[in-house]
Amino acid sequence: MDIRETVKETVLHLEKRIGRVDVAIIIGSGLGNLVQQMELEHKVPYSEIPHFPRSTVKGHAGEVLVGRIGENRVLAFNGRFHYYEGYSMAEVTYPVRVARLLGSKLLIITNAAGGLNPKFQVGDLMIIEDHINFMGVNPLMGPNVDEWGPRFVDLYHVYSKTHIEAIKKIAARKGLFLREGVYLAISGPTYETNAELKMMQILGADAVGMSTVPEAIVAAHMGMPVLGISVITDMALPYITQNVTHEMVLQAAEKASSTLSQLIFELLEEVKV
């Protein structure tokens, strides 16, 4: 079946069940409690949604949560699909297509990332101001679906300046310190070699992770602004003896998740998207 048709069926199913939405959030590794404060209206396991991919990684639940924050109807994807799990790029970005067609006008993406900028510390939150796609693939490869967006997409304005400013204001008011920087995406599942980390620093990246960029590109394709926030879960510095494990990443993400949660919650309470 053509992807246009499967997405249409998914959207029709969800529209009947949950209605239209204003904002979508993709929740990253270990950040599952992100939407706990939201007044929940619906909870739909991915397994009940026609054509929706299924989550496999620990720390990813696999359900759609729908609720209201301020004047916004919010659709949260608890459980994302990573390229390293073997999903196709079409599957990785499926939720973004669905969110946009359900009415979403902003995509908030959170992730866990390794800090490449030596000034960073574990637990820091970094606003993604731009990205470097080092995954070796692009989710827009293949035939273009013209009704979704253009063949050639400009990526100058992927990350919404307006929403970055708004969240920075909220952080300042709360006395929270935010980093800002460039997120570099690799396919994973391996973490980086020392030589790769050094290269990434030279290229101007501040954080490295295994997600977000495909979703951001597809959002840009559909004209949907993105707000991306990374939790720095480990320092990915070259030539320093250290270990990074998935458990470490999950732990650090869980620790930072209530702060991140508060920020996003307040943003959506204040701003009608």
Chain contacts with ligand HPA (rule: CB under 6 A) = 112-114, 191-192, 208-210, 233-234, 236, 244, 249
Minimum distance of ligand HPA from residue 143's CB (angstroms) = 31
Minimum distance of ligand HPA from residue 113's CB (angstroms) = 5
CB closer to ligand HPA, 166 vs 248: 248
CB closer to ligand HPA, 209 vs 228: 209
Minimum distance of ligand HPA from residue 133's CB (angstroms) = 14
CB closer to ligand HPA, 94 vs 191: 191
- Nearest Cα neighbor of 70 from 272, 269, 265, 267 is 269
Question: Which residues are 151's β-sheet partners?
Answer: none
Q: Which helix (H) or strand (E) element contains residue 232?
A: strand 226-235
DSSP class of 141:
-
What is the DSSP track for 205-248? Answer: -SEEESSSHHHHHHHHHTT--EEEEEEEEEE--TTS-----HHH
CB closer to ligand HPA, 16 vs 243: 243
221 contacts: CB under 8 Å, gap ≥ 6: 140, 148, 149, 150, 153
Minimum distance of ligand HPA from residue 205's CB (angstroms) = 11
CB closer to ligand HPA, 67 vs 209: 209
Angstrom distance (rounded) from CA 195 to CA 45: 41
CB closer to ligand HPA, 132 vs 145: 132
CB closer to ligand HPA, 67 vs 114: 114
**Lookup: tokens for 13:** 């199913």
State the residue number with the nearest CB to ligand HPA.
Answer: 114
Q: Is 143 helix (H, G, I), strand (E, B) or coil?
A: coil
17 contacts: CB under 8 Å, gap ≥ 6: 42, 44
Question: Which residues are 131's β-sheet partners?
Answer: 183
DSSP class of 159:
B
Minimum distance of ligand HPA from residue 95's CB (angstroms) = 19
Minimum distance of ligand HPA from residue 197's CB (angstroms) = 8
Q: Is 40 helix (H, G, I), strand (E, B) or coil?
A: strand
Minimum distance of ligand HPA from residue 111's CB (angstroms) = 7
Phi, psi values for residue 126, rounded to 5°: -120, 120
